[in-house]
Every structure is written in C-alpha cells, then in structure tokens.
C-alpha cells in the first residue's frame, strides 16, 4: 500500500481567502491513509483551525464513516438539533436540511448545548453545480474584530436561546431529543440546564442560557463561540420572518436569541455580527471526494446557498464542556 510521504503533509496551500488545502495523491485505501496520517492531519487542524483535504476520492458512505472514525475517534450522537438531518447510524449524518437558496450563516455546531463537539468532519460525495461551500471563519479573530459595545454585554450576561417545538417547522421533539416521551424530555432538560414549559396545545417551549465567549480547550485563548446571529429572527429572510411572526407570534418562533437577561437583540447588532463574520470568511468550493476538518471552538462554519444536487456527510466528535461557564445576570431568579 502506497501513501504520500509525510513531508507532503507540511505542504498545505495557504491563501487568505480560503481555508488551508492539503492536496494528496489518491490512496488505494482512504481509511488506511487517515489512520496513518491522523496525527499530522490533526496537527494542521490545530495550527490553522480547519483543513480541506483534496484527493482522497471519498465516494461511499461506509468509506466516509471509516475515515471519520480514523481521524476523530467515535463520533457523538446529536441532541438538541434545530433542523432535520438524516441519520445513517453511529453518529454519521447528512448535512442539515435547509432551503438550497438560503445561506446558513456562520455558527459553531451545538454551541447552545452543555457538551459540544470540538471537532467537525465533513465529506463531499456530490458537489453542487454552483455555490454551497462550507465556509469558515476564525472565532478568535472575529472576537477581536467585533465592536466592544457589541461584545461587552454578551461577555457579561451570555446569550439566551429560546425554542418552540412543533410538528410544522424545524426539528421535532423526537428529532431533537431522540424521544417524544415527556418525562424523558423533562429529565434531559433538567440535566442540561434548560428551562421548559409545556403549552396548552401540547407543544414545548425551552430557554437556555450559555456563554457567548469561551476559552479554547487547548490554547486557552478566548473565542466568540455561539449562534447568536444565526438563530436570531433578524438573520431570517424578511419574508420568512414575516410569515413566522404572523403564524406563530413573536414569542412562538421556532428559535430566537436574546441577551442573557432576556432583552431583545436589535437588528443592527445582528447585522454587525454577520458583517464581521463576512469580513473573516474563507471559502473554497466543494469538489466531489473532498474531506474537511474543522475545530468547532476556534472556527465557525457556514453553508452557502447553492444550485444543483449537494450531498455532504457530517460527523461530530470529541465532545467537551466549554470553558466559560454559564453567566447568570444580576436579578435572575431562576
């Protein structure tokens, strides 16, 4: 079995407008290549925050599963999903179901959970005709670039995620919690510091407060780590927001974000956050067979709008409790 030389792993192509790209000669066994070069690949991810590996020729679901496991260990099961994914078992998923013509803004996967994946793995089996890149942004740089008037309150109070579960839009109870049993859902919420309320119509509404800035588990450096902008009502397309507010009311949106004390976040603040993300975005169009690894604490990621068929498989690995705690604003009496 023949693989590229170890020295080639140091020849990562670096450009300021795209993630680091590692070009490899197609191996006879992609999983074997991943196992052999795991430490070198992971070192590149640690150095750069993300790495696109091109040349592995990934094309089959089980092949992707083996490569993901070789590089990231046993994948974690997703809980608290905000949108639907198809599960292929053992922690392997499709990318999130989201309208093709709507971008998914920059975010850190499951940043609202107590235990978050610190590593994301993506594999492109079918590249879209146009668009659809999984773009990345350095969360340390984003934090430094955001205006102090935006970050100070979030650093002090954290951020609040509110969710309303129904059977019409977003992930259902079963898709988010793995069950529809009320007692099991309630026990999960209590164990994960989530306030919950059952509505008269049987739907569930939850609130959870999390830190907006956490320290990286390896470097200790602060990172802007949240989904404040992505899950906020002002990031939605205007016509989508108008429909949802008309249909469900301001307090019944499938998801929304607020300041940690419950105060509303203005459209201006959301626009400022998304503008800074865009300034720090690096993108590279997918090619079929590509592999991408993302440090989920240091690096935010997005999915751009696209045309044509796009098939990307995803796994989440190495869950940890972020170092940052859950701020409790003065006067909170939960």
List the chain pLDDT tens, one digit each, 334 residues.
434 444 345 589 999 999 999 999 999 999 999 999 999 999 999 999 999 999 999 999 999 999 999 999 999 999 999 888 999 999 999 999 888 998 999 999 999 999 999 999 999 999 999 999 999 999 999 999 999 999 999 999 999 999 999 777 778 899 999 999 999 999 999 999 999 999 998 889 999 999 999 999 999 999 999 999 999 999 988 888 898 889 888 888 889 999 999 999 999 999 999 999 999 999 999 999 999 999 999 999 999 999 999 999 999 999 999 987 555 444 343 3
Task: Give the contacts of 60 (CB within 8 A, at least 6 positions apart).
Answer: 125
Where b means 16+ CB within 10 Å and e means fewer, 22-47 reads bebeebeebbebbebbeeebbebbee
Q: What is the pLDDT of residue 269?
A: 98
Give the number of C-alpha atoms closer than 13 A to the C-alpha of residue 127, restricted to the C-beta side.
16
Report the distance separating Cα 328 and Cα 292, nearest Å: 36
Q: What is the pLDDT of residue 325?
A: 53
Closest of 148, 144, 136 to residue 280, by C-alpha: 136
Report the distance separating Cα 285 and Cα 308, nearest Å: 13
Q: What is the pLDDT of residue 290?
A: 98
Report the distance separating Cα 286 and Cα 288, nearest Å: 7
140 Rama class: left (phi>0) / alpha (psi -120 to 50) / beta: alpha
Closest of 137, 73, 72 to residue 298, by C-alpha: 137
Query: Looking at the DSSP assignment, which residues form a beta bridge with residue 213?
Result: 224
Range 218-222 contact pairs with CB under 8 angstroms and sequence separation of 24 or more: 218/46, 219/298, 220/323, 221/140, 222/140, 222/143
Per CATH, 6-97+115-130+284-295+306-318 and 141-275 having the same topology is answered yes
Structure tokens at 248: 């469900």
Structure tokens at 227: 């989904």
Q: What is the pLDDT of residue 18?
A: 95
Please determine, looking at this structure, whether the domain spanning 6-97+115-130+284-295+306-318 carries the CATH number 3.30.200.20: no
Q: Is 333 helix (H, G, I), strand (E, B) or coil?
A: coil
Q: Where exactly are the structural domains of the chain?
A: 6-97+115-130+284-295+306-318, 141-275
CB atoms within 10 A of CB 63: 17
Beta strands per DSSP E along the chain:
13-15, 18-23, 50-54, 93-94, 104-107, 116-126, 130-131, 136-138, 159-165, 195-198, 204-210, 213-215, 222-224, 255-259, 281-282, 291-295, 299-303, 306-307, 311-320
Give the number of C-alpha atoms closer than 13 A to the C-alpha of residue 333, restricted to the C-beta side.
1
Q: What is the pLDDT of residue 107?
A: 97
Q: What is the pLDDT of residue 5?
A: 41
Specify the CATH class of 141-275 in words.
alpha beta
Q: Are 88 and 314 in contact (CB under 8 A)?
A: no
Strand 18-23 to strand 50-54: parallel, antiparallel, or no bridges (unpaired)? parallel
Query: Looking at the DSSP assignment, which residues form a beta bridge with residue 126?
Result: 311
Q: What is the pLDDT of residue 326?
A: 54
In the structure, how many helices (H) and strands (E) does the chain have? Answer: 9, 19
Q: Are 290 and 265 in contact (CB under 8 A)?
A: no
């Amino acid at each position: 079995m023949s693989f590229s030389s170890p020295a080639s792993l140091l020849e990562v192509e670096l450009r300021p407008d795209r993630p680091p790209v590692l070009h490899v000669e197609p191996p006879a066994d992609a999983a074997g290549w991943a196992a052999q070069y795991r430490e070198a690949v992971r070192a590149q991810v640690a150095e750069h925050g993300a790495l696109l590996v091109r040349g592995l020729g990934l094309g089959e679901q089980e092949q992707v599963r083996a490569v993901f496991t070789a590089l990231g260990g046993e994948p974690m099961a997703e809980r608290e999903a905000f949108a639907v994914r198809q599960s292929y078992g053992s922690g392997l998923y499709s990318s999130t179901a989201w309208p093709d013509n709507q971008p998914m803004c920059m975010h850190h996967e499951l940043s609202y959970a107590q235990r978050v994946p610190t590593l994301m793995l993506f594999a492109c089996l079918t590249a879209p005709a146009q668009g659809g890149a999984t773009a990345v942004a350095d969360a340390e740089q984003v934090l430094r670039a955001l205006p102090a008037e935006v970050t100070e309150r979030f650093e002090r109070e954290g951020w609040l995620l509110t969710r309303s579960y129904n059977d019409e839009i977003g992930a259902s109870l079963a898709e988010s919690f793995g069950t529809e049993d009320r007692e099991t859902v309630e026990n999960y919420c209590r164990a994960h510091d989530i306030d919950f309320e059952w509505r008269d119509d049987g739907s569930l509404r939850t609130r959870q407060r999390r830190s907006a800035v956490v320290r990286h588990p390896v470097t200790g450096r602060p990172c802007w780590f949240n989904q404040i902008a992505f899950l906020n009502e002002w990031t939605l397309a205007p016509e989508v927001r108008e429909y949802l507010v008309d249909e469900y009311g301001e307090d019944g949106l499938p998801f929304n974000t607020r300041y940690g004390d419950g105060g509303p976040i203005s459209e201006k603040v959301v626009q400022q956050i998304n503008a800074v993300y865009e300034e720090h975005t690096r993108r590279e169009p997918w090619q079929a067979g590509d592999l991408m690894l993302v440090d989920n604490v240091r690096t935010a990621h997005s999915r751009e709008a696209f045309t044509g068929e796009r098939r990307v498989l995803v796994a989440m690995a190495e869950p940890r409790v972020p170092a940052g705690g859950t701020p409790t604003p003065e006067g909170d009496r939960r």
